[in-house]
Structures are given as structure tokens and as C-alpha cells.
């Protein structure tokens, strides 16, 4: 069986897809390479692909050349890879992007006879991959900001999950000290009578619904379990009006200013 291959169309399609993949990898790695260089890498990858197709190599040799030599040359030319670790990261991301792009293309396969659909599928692939990466990055950052902490009170120790929130700038209006926020449930577990706790008072604060007041008090200390345990003596805790996390992912919001004291 013989197939008729239009090399110019084949080159253009591969050039577009290779350039798209380099654009995705460039964005994911935050390399900041100019579009002209990415297009150069895409053109080189497409040219080498056409060259390998034209040369009568065996199927196994073509497979190795496609996935090792062509991909490597395309990455080095388009992204100006200088270090081995950077190359390995780019190589893995290239094939992850290729797999995801191929999945989207598969959905549009029945309509691929229309050139416009082909380009639209490529554009959709680009958007989906970047959205997925953004979501994964956000989840990773969020998870890395959730720490284990232990509250030391008159009733003993209370382990909690705490979110280190750079947006928490709440301070005691009387002393200027940073305030860490806990849930009402956590407050009930560490004290039977909040009003009798050391340093209890009400402080004003702003919330989404307007202005309100918050109950604050002191505990003996907090140990935040990081690479090295960080101890905070006599910290202020404020009681939030409701659960801090809808899925109870954490029970406390740490004020980052407690580490600068």
C-alpha cells in the first residue's frame, strides 16, 4: 500500500505543532525566550522530521531519531537549553504537552479534513494545557503553604493544620502585635472560658461584610513545624466567625509577621 505525502503541507503542519509545543514548554518553564527563537526551533524540528521521513531508515531507527535527536535539537534551538537539568525538565514537559495536545487533537479527528479545525484544535490544546498547569501550580503552592503547628495552652497541646497566609496582616490595635486566626471549634477545644484567658479583649477588624470585632487572647506558645521548628512565645490568637476552610483543610491562619519578631 502506498501513501501520497505532500511534503509542503506536512512541513507546515509539523512546524505549527512543534512551535506550539515549544511555546507551551517555554511558558511552563518561564524561560522568556522570544517568539522568533521558538519559531526557529519549530522550523528546525519540522525540517528534521521531513528529512527523516525522506531518508530510507528502518522503522526502529526513525523512531529513535524522532524521539531523541529531533526533539533534542528542537529544544536546544528553540529554548537555548544550557544545563542538563534544564534539558531533562524541558524534555519531560515537551512529551507531556505532546500527549495532552494529541488527546485534544483526537477529539477533533473526524473534522481534521478542514484546515481551520486543525488550527482551532491546536489553539484549544494550548489553552487547556496552560490552564491545567496553572491549576496544578496553584494547588501545589497552596499545599506547600499549609503547615503543621502545635498550640501549647493551659489545657495541654493541640496539633493543628495552619495556613501561612501572606494576606493576613491583622494586628492588635493596642499593641501592634500580629494576630493569628483560629476557628471557633479550635478555640472551644483549647479553652473552656475564652473570656478568662490571658490577654483576652475585643479588637476591631475589617471583613467582607464590613467592620466587626474579634475575640483575641494569648496562649503559651506555638511551634510551627517547618524544616526547623519555629517557636513563637505568647502569641495572640483571634477567633474567626466561622470555619476558615470549607473543606476543613486547615484550622488556623498564621500571620507571617510572627516570624519577624
Assign residue 244 the CATH number of its domain: 2.40.70.10
Domain that holds residue 47: 7-143
Tell me the sheet residues that pair with 223.
150, 231
Residue 138 sits in the same domain as residue 150: no
Handedness of CA 91, 96, 101, 107 (dihedral sign): positive
Give 102 or 202, the one with higher predicted confidence. 202
Query: Which of residues 110 and 148 earns the better pLDDT score?
Result: 148
30 with 117, same domain? yes
Averaged pLDDT for residues 217-235: 90
Report, as an integer, the average pLDDT of 225-253: 83
What is the predicted pLDDT for the residue at 236? 93
Q: Give CA–CA dist 141/147, Å, rounded.
A: 12
81 and 159 within one domain = no
Could you say which of 128, 143, 158 is where a domain stops? Answer: 143
Give the mean model confidence (pLDDT) for residues 149-162: 90
What pLDDT, on a 0 to 100 scale, did the predictor assign at position 220?
93
Q: Is the model's pLDDT at 21 over the cut of 80?
A: yes
Establish if 1 belongs to a structural domain: no
The per-residue pLDDT of the chain, averaged, comes to 79
The count of residues in the chain is: 261
Q: Is residue 42 part of a domain?
A: yes
Q: How many domains does the chain have?
A: 2
Asked whether residue 135 falls in the same domain as residue 232, the answer is: no
- Among 120, 143, 166, where does a domain finish? 143
Is 150 in the same domain as 133? no
Same domain, 42 and 152: no
Residues 117 and 222 in one domain: no
Last residue of a domain, one of 91, 123, 143: 143
Give the count of beta carbons closer than 10 Å to the beta carbon of residue 138.
Answer: 10
Asked if 133 and 149 sit in the same domain, the reply is: no
Q: Are residues 39 and 72 located together in one domain of the fold? A: yes
* Residue 191, in any domain of the structure: yes
Q: Is residue 116 part of a domain?
A: yes
The residue behind cell 501561612 is: 164
pLDDT exceeding 90 applies to what percent of the chain?
13
| Reported confidence tier of residue 192, pLDDT bands at 50, 70, 90 | confident
pLDDT of residue 218: 92
Q: C-alpha cell of 14?
A: 509539523
**Together in a domain, 114 and 155:** no
Say what the pLDDT of residue 111 is.
47
pLDDT tier, 2 (very low <50, low <70, confident <90, very high otherwise):
low
Domain match, 120 and 179 both = no
236 in a structural domain? yes
**Same domain? 104 vs 183:** no
Nearest to 235 by CA among 251, 212, 254, 214: 254
Amino acid at each position: 500500500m502506498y501513501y501520497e505525502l505532500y511534503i509542503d503541507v506536512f512541513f507546515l503542519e509539523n512546524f505549527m505543532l512543534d512551535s506550539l509545543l515549544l511555546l507551551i514548554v517555554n511558558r511552563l518553564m518561564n524561560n522568556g525566550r522570544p517568539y522568533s527563537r521558538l519559531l526557529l526551533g519549530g522550523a528546525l524540528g519540522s525540517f528534521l522530521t521531513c528529512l527523516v521521513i525522506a531518508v530510507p531508515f528502518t522503522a526502529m531507527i526513525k523512531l529513535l531519531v524522532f524521539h531523541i535527536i529531533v526533539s533534542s535539537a528542537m529544544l536546544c534551538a528553540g529554548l537555548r537549553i544550557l544545563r542538563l537539568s534544564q534539558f531533562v525538565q524541558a524534555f519531560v514537559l515537551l512529551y507531556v504537552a505532546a500527549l495532552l495536545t494529541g488527546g485534544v487533537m483526537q477529539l477533533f479527528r473526524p473534522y481534521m479534513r478542514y484546515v481551520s479545525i486543525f488550527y482551532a484544535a491546536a489553539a484549544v490544546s494550548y489553552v487547556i494545557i496552560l490552564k491545567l498547569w496553572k491549576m496544578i501550580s496553584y494547588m501545589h503552592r497552596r499545599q506547600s503553604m499549609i503547615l503543621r503547628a502545635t498550640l501549647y495552652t493551659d489545657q495541654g497541646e493541640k496539633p493543628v493544620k495552619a495556613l501561612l497566609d501572606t494576606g493576613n496582616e491583622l494586628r492588635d490595635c493596642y499593641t501592634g502585635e500580629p494576630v493569628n486566626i483560629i476557628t471557633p471549634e479550635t478555640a472551644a477545644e483549647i479553652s473552656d472560658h475564652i473570656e478568662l484567658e490571658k490577654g483576652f479583649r475585643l479588637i476591631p477588624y475589617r471583613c467582607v461584610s464590613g467592620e466587626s470585632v474579634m475575640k483575641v487572647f494569648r496562649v503559651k506558645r506555638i511551634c510551627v513545624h517547618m524544616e526547623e521548628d519555629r517557636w513563637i512565645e505568647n502569641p495572640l490568637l483571634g477567633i474567626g466567625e466561622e470555619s476558615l476552610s470549607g473543606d476543613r483543610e486547615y484550622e488556623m491562619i498564621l500571620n507571617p509577621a510572627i516570624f519577624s519578631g
